[in-house]
């Protein structure tokens, strides 16, 4: 069966996820999603299930916005959660919160869990999956942590850091997909698009 030429929609305002798709040479459009994440966090305590349900909700939100269009679209949504010894760590609210988060993570191994959901506008088929990457930081002084916070890379990032920027300097070890830490497990994404939606990203230009 010939691969389909679907329009790729990223259901996320994340600059990191957009960056990953652009780095892979993938043409896409962005649709911002607006779901009540706190409602899911109250009802779901397991970080894997939470990331998957949030990704699914974002994908379906974007799909509903496109329901009146005739385009054949593949919608990609994701949600990344940091987990440390069973504790779910979200995004920092301010600089002091970012310091508290990074202080917890420094010198320890923690998990980046990204739930992904892919659906399309023609069949409404939806595939939900996840990926886990273990990240270990070097030991940093309080002064170094506060110096990093001044870069503002913590803003909007799970765990208050981004390894595609200056945080790469203090990552000691990564076990798993590095793109997953940035926001999308690109290898798993490619496999799902190819196997489940018959989309070949190498035949799009």
Residue 2 lies in a domain: no
Residue 185 lies in a domain: yes
Non-local (6+) Cβ contacts of 160 within 8 A are 91, 92, 97, 98, 101, 102, 149, 154
Residue 91 lies in a domain: yes
Residue 97 lies in a domain: yes
The alpha-carbon radius of gyration of the chain (Å, integer) is 17
CATH number of the domain that 134 lies in?
A: 3.90.950.10
Range of the domain at 144: 7-203
Task: Please write the tens of the pLDDT for every residue from 7-48.
Answer: 899 999 999 999 999 999 999 999 989 888 878 887 888 999
Looking at beta carbons, which pairs linking 26-31 to residues 24 or more positions away fall under 8 Å? 26/201, 26/204, 27/204, 27/205, 28/76, 31/62, 31/65, 31/66, 31/75
Residue 17 lies in a domain: yes
User: What stretches in the chain show pLDDT beneath 50?
Assistant: 1, 3, 205
Residue 165 lies in a domain: yes
Residue 87 lies in a domain: yes
Note the pLDDT of residue 203: 58
Q: Give me the active site residues, please.
A: 79
Note the pLDDT of residue 187: 95
Domain count, the chain: 1
Note the pLDDT of residue 68: 61
Residue 1 lies in a domain: no
């Amino acid at each position: 069966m010939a691969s389909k030429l679907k329009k790729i929609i990223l259901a996320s305002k994340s600059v990191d996820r957009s960056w990953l798709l652009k780095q892979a040479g993938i043409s896409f459009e962005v649709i911002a999603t607006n779901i009540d994440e706190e409602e899911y966090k109250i009802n779901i305590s397991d970080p894997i299930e939470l990331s998957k349900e949030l990704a699914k909700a974002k994908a379906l939100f974007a799909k509903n916005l496109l329901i009146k269009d005739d385009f054949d679209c593949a919608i990609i949504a994701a949600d990344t959660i940091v987990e440390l010894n069973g504790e779910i760590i979200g995004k920092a609210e301010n600089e002091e919160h970012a310091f508290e988060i990074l202080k917890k993570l420094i010198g320890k191994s923690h998990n980046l869990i990204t739930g992904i959901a892919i659906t399309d506008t023609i069949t409404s088929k939806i595939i939900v999956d996840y990926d886990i990457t273990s990240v270990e930081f070097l030991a940093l002084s309080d002064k170094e942590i506060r110096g990093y916070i001044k870069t503002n890379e913590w803003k909007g990032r799970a765990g208050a850091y981004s390894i595609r920027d200056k945080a790469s300097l203090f990552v000691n070890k990564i076990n798993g997909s590095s793109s997953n830490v940035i926001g999308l497990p690109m290898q798993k994404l490619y496999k799902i698009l190819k196997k489940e939606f018959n989309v070949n990203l190498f035949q799009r230009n």
